[in-house]
Amino acid sequence: MKKVIPFVAVFALVGCGQETLPEPNAASCAPAAFQQAISELRKEVNRKAFTEACRSFEKAQQMRSWEFKPSSPDRY
């Protein structure tokens, strides 16, 4: 029993140090959700990584959006 308690304590401390980033998608990169996610992240490195991930996601969304634009009519 005495050997289990230090192992559990060390495992709990190691698990607390890891911060997971939210997945960049339309919901998490929306302005209100983005500000909330940024405020919840403790490390500046993680904030920058999430910001860059959202920018990349938004840029990919812009590249995927396609709209048909007809050419000007011929004038013969």
HSE, CB side, 13 Å, CA atoms: give it for residue 38. Answer: 15
Integer Cα distance of 59 and 61 in angstroms: 5
> For residue 56, what are the domain limits?
22-62
Q: Please give the structure tokens belonging to residue 67.
A: 């709209």
Integer Cα distance of 58 and 55 in angstroms: 5
Residue 42, in any domain of the structure: yes
- DSSP letter at 29 equals T
Quote the number of domains for the chain: 1
| Position 11 pLDDT exceeds 50 | no
What predicted TM-score, i.e. pTM, was given to this entire model? 0.64
Indicate the residue type of 4. Answer: V
Residue 6, in any domain of the structure: no
Residue 16, in any domain of the structure: no
Residue 29, in any domain of the structure: yes
Residue 26, in any domain of the structure: yes
Q: Which of 26-40, 43-57, 58-72 has the lowest mean pLDDT?
A: 58-72
Average of per-residue pLDDT across 36-41:
94
Average of per-residue pLDDT across 51-76:
87
Confidence tier at 48 by pLDDT (50, 70, 90):
very high
Q: Please give the structure tokens belonging to residue 74.
A: 């011929």
